[in-house]
Amino acid sequence: MPALTSTHLQRVQNAVHTKVMKTVTRINSKRRPLLAWLMAMVSATDLTGGEIKVECTIESGLEENLWVGDDEIEASEPDFQLPLAYGYFNFNVAIKILHDKLKRLGYTILPNGEGKLEDRAMSKNDGLKLIKYLKELIFEAHDAYDRRLDLLLHRTGAQATNAQPGLLGITGQSASTGNVGGKARADYTALRHQVSTGLTVTAAGTFANLVERAHRRADLYSGSNGVPGEIDRVFGGEGWIEGHKAFCRANGLSVNADVAGIRKIDPTIPDSAVYVDGRLVVHDPTLETLDGLETFSPTLTKSAFHLNSKTWEFMHEHGLNKHASSPQDPPNKRLTRQDLDGTYVLANKAPASNAYTAIA
């Protein structure tokens, strides 16, 4: 029976973590397009002061003077600064490896790191058995980390006192209530993202017109001396995508293809063909997951988020982006644990350049 010290177990565990291959077929794992998009732009930052400040400006009320002769010319100090402050959240997923479980697999775990590492050599077969077991645990930790982080980055931030606003908290179902970046939306037009609900998808429905209007008004702020970029990402729920297709069918729009000179007829419209205003609509299954956790009106499955990538920032504290660590085993328990830690900030510097739409 192979014998391991708890220190040896930690070393093997860390080695497996750095090489873990996600070869397991997880039959209920859904795509996470929002998380993938944010992770593609994530950057490291310093969190001194406990928050990230995004320096923004707005047009002031400064006006011209018209004068003649010896008229007095007025001067005033313009008020145009509008700094937005976004807080961070600490995130942790941890697994524990029970020594008793390893005993059942045929290993002896010597507590408190007793013995020399070289005295605890395992056969290749024993080592592979242990590595396979650890891979399963570590794969689950990685997947759970991504799954739960994706969920947090969607939510309003109201679900817990130490949570921060995610997508629904920054560009949610209301543009006139609540705060964004520490400022009241009701006080600043530039902080109100575009919201259009009640879209209808009949032949004479409002779907196309209202989506076009939301994009036009969001892109209104783009241009020289304004907000960089324009709406370039659309994440939609299944109900929203089905509504899009229903509107297309009701108006005689279809997808056909010529292959080798033969006209193919396909009654379906693939998701890869679902566009609005030239932007591909990506199905975000997490919206349906959230509908099962909270009550939203409209439901999120009938919702879509139209985002300007240039206005979003996703940051992690230096060194804390799924950082793996293995603390010393507790003196009063026979277990080894591994933690995955992250500290993140989601921020938007121009909310009005984004939009939310929903089908009736």
* Residue 166 φ/ψ, nearest 5 degrees: -100, -150
> What pLDDT, in 10s, does the model give residues 126-172?
667 777 788 888 888 889 999 999 999 999 999 999 999 999 999 99
- Residue 22's pLDDT is 54
pLDDT at residue 105 greater than cutoff 70? yes
Q: Is the dihedral of CA 187, 217, 158, 35 positive or negative?
A: negative
pLDDT, one tens digit per residue, over 261-312 is: 677 777 888 999 999 999 999 999 999 999 999 999 999 999 999 999 999 9
pTM across the whole model: 0.86
Q: What angle do CA 115, 121, 122 make, to 5 degrees?
A: 130
Residue 307 corresponds to which tokens in the numbers above?
A: 């985002």
Evaluate the omega torsion of the peptide bond into residue 298 and state whether it is cis, within 30 degrees of 0: yes
The token pair at 235 is 């994440």
13-65 per-position pLDDT tens digit: 777 777 765 566 777 888 999 999 999 999 999 998 889 998 887 777 778 88
